[in-house]
């Protein structure tokens, strides 16, 4: 299954369970060698991705990797322990400011020089792995099995996932042949330009992990824990009038603090994820759409309307966030003439 912090160190957290290594060339420029039809490739990709999800959650491992984006480079380390009591994980920076994320099953705490109350939710969002929804026939991705290569001294199989429209990015995964562990990931835009690359320089699979490997190294810098959200079974009051084809509501959460309500809606197509945060404003403001912002590959759309501040964010093209966040409406007060999913043709506008 799937597990995935804005602010200056969102770029660090986007890395958190998607570890990889670097090869000398851009494999997106290379042709795919297997000559199999799309159904066959989808089925083989499904098997590989299922193995990857199991490996990344159930294997014990430790390693170091490099994350590159926008001409910047960061060195990080990860320690991951799976035991009878669940999963414990530690992710921390090796250069620059001391930054760290610690996970104990579903509890996640981020430690950094700067923090905000979105940190925990976004860690969980951006460490998600591909779900079975990705491989449905209606998927807006095509799949190819690519080349084999050695990464961090381990043999790996390449899987290319190409977006069929402009509402999502393409990906390349390199998986260790024996376990299916993810060793490398590359994200590209619709023009096949590399947006980010994560580089696993060293990894020990099946490592012996003990408690001292997971001890907090920067506890004196700990800030307040992230706001806790509880899953909500009912349909959200606020909904998008338009969704790109393939995106569906996966998670509906709300803070348990009635004095400071925060609502979180997570939409996904099985690989790409968009989080929408809704915060009531004490003072009603005119409908205002704020300038686009981004943290690395994570784009952010923000708008105030009807006493609500709406923030949509995700590692997707800005047009996707604008479509979803910009079409949010209060279904208890106003029903649009139609709610629809846009197909790939709409992305060309």
Please check the confidence at residue 31 and state whether its pLDDT lies above 80. Answer: no
CATH class of 10-221: mainly beta
Residue 165: CB atoms within 10 A of its CB come to 20
Q: Is the pLDDT of residue 5 over 50?
A: no
Task: Please state, for a pLDDT cut of 70, what percent of the chain lies above it.
Answer: 72
**Residue 21 has what pLDDT?**
27
Q: Give the mean pLDDT of 99-116.
A: 72
Average pLDDT of the chain is 77
Could you give the CA distance from residue 192 to residue 187 in angstroms, rounded to a whole number? 9
pLDDT at position 19, please? 29
CATH superfamily ID and name for 229-348: MucB/RseB, C-terminal domain (3.30.200.100)
Alpha helices in 94-202 (DSSP H): 119-126
Average pLDDT of the segment spanning 155-169: 94
Mean pLDDT of 281-308: 86
Residues 6+ apart with CB under 8 A from 205: 59, 60, 61, 154, 176, 179, 181
Going by pLDDT thresholds of 50, 70 and 90, the confidence category of residue 235 is: confident
Q: Distances in Å between the alpha carbon of 114 and those of 7, 8, 95, 233, 335?
A: 7, 8, 16, 33, 40
Mean pLDDT of 78-104: 87
Half-sphere exposure of 343 (CA within 13 A, CB side): 2
What percent of the chain clears pLDDT 90, i.e. is strictly above it?
A: 37
Does residue 30 carry a pLDDT above 60? no
- pLDDT at residue 70 in the model: 78
Name the residue ranges covered by the structural domains of the chain. 10-221, 229-348
């Amino acid at each position: 299954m799937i597990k995935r912090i804005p602010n200056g160190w969102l770029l660090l957290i986007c890395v958190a369970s998607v570890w990889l290594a670097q090869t000398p060339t851009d494999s997106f420029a290379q042709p795919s060698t297997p000559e199999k039809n799309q159904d066959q490739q989808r089925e083989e990709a499904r098997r590989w991705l299922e193995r990857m999800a199991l490996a990344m959650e159930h294997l014990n491992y430790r390693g170091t990797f490099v994350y590159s984006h926008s001409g910047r480079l960061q060195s990080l380390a990860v320690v991951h322990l799976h035991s009878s009591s669940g999963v414990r994980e530690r992710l921390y920076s090796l250069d620059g400011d001391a930054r760290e994320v610690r996970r104990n099953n579903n509890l996640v705490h981020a430690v950094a020089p700067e923090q905000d109350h979105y940190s925990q939710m976004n860690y969980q969002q951006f460490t998600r792995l591909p779900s079975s929804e990705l491989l449905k026939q209606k998927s807006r991705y095509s799949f190819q099995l690519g080349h084999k290569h050695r990464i961090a001294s381990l043999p790996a199989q390449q899987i290319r996932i190409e977006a069929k429209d402009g509402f999502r990015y393409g990906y390349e995964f390199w998986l260790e042949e024996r376990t299916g562990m993810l060793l490398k990931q590359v994200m590209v835009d619709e023009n096949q330009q590399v947006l980010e690359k994560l580089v696993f320089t060293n990894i020990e699979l099946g490592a012996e992990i003990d408690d001292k490997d997971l001890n907090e190294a920067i506890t004196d810098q700990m800030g307040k824990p992230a706001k806790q959200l509880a899953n909500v079974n009912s349909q959200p009051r606020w909904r998008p009038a338009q969704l790109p084809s393939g995106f569906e509501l996966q998670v509906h959460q709300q803070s348990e603090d009635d004095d400071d309500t925060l609502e979180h809606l997570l939409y996904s197509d099985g690989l790409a994820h968009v989080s929408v945060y809704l915060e009531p404003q004490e003072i009603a403001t005119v409908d205002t759409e704020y300038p686009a912002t981004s943290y690395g590959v994570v784009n952010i759309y923000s708008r105030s309307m009807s006493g609500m501040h709406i923030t949509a964010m995700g590692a997707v093209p800005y047009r996707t966030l604008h479509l979803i966040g910009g079409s949010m409406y209060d279904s208890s007060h106003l029903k649009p003439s139609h709610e629809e999913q846009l197909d790939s043709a709409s992305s060309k506008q």
